[in-house]
Amino acid sequence: MNFNNPEKINSEYSDSKFKGIDGETYLSNPRTIYYNEMAKIIFNSLPKVENGCTRLWRGSRTNEVNENTVVTNSLVGIALPFMYGYKGVMTYVDVSTSEYVNYVQKSGVAPNSEFMLPDSFKGKFKVIDFNIYKDFEQENPGEMMSP
């Protein structure tokens, strides 16, 4: 996929908005398309989420993996941009669906997209291996990664 030539972008993104692999709706622009294509690779490389659980994401600074428990359900629109902004790593944690809604942040954040998990989740985050999406990044270099 060539992100610098709009005519070559997949027809999946021809409308002004699209539904990302994470279920959120995004404006169709090269940056969000780039992140969605990367998110597809990540989703398809990880173990399936168990029934009754929801996968939450964090684009972490390398020194705060398993320490900071602020997470998001938006891999495309929040977690990946933060990962690149931090020049860090992507982490995830699976949380009981009935439980995680109790941790939604309500002020100064994207509505129903950001969560503050309790300290009991420290140490439970899994780091996503960079090699999963390394080829995609190398085949699609450019400015899309910069926030």
pLDDT in tens, 95-137: 999 998 899 888 777 778 899 999 999 999 999 998 898 888 8
Distance separating alpha carbons of residues 117 and 102, to the nearest angstrom: 9
Residue 1 lies in a domain: no
How many domains would you assign to the chain?
A: 1
By residue range, what is the domain housing residue 54? Answer: 6-141
Residue 147 lies in a domain: no
d(CA 77, CA 63): 22
What's the predicted TM-score (pTM) here?
0.84
Phi first, then psi: give them for residue 104, nearest 5 degrees.
-65, 135
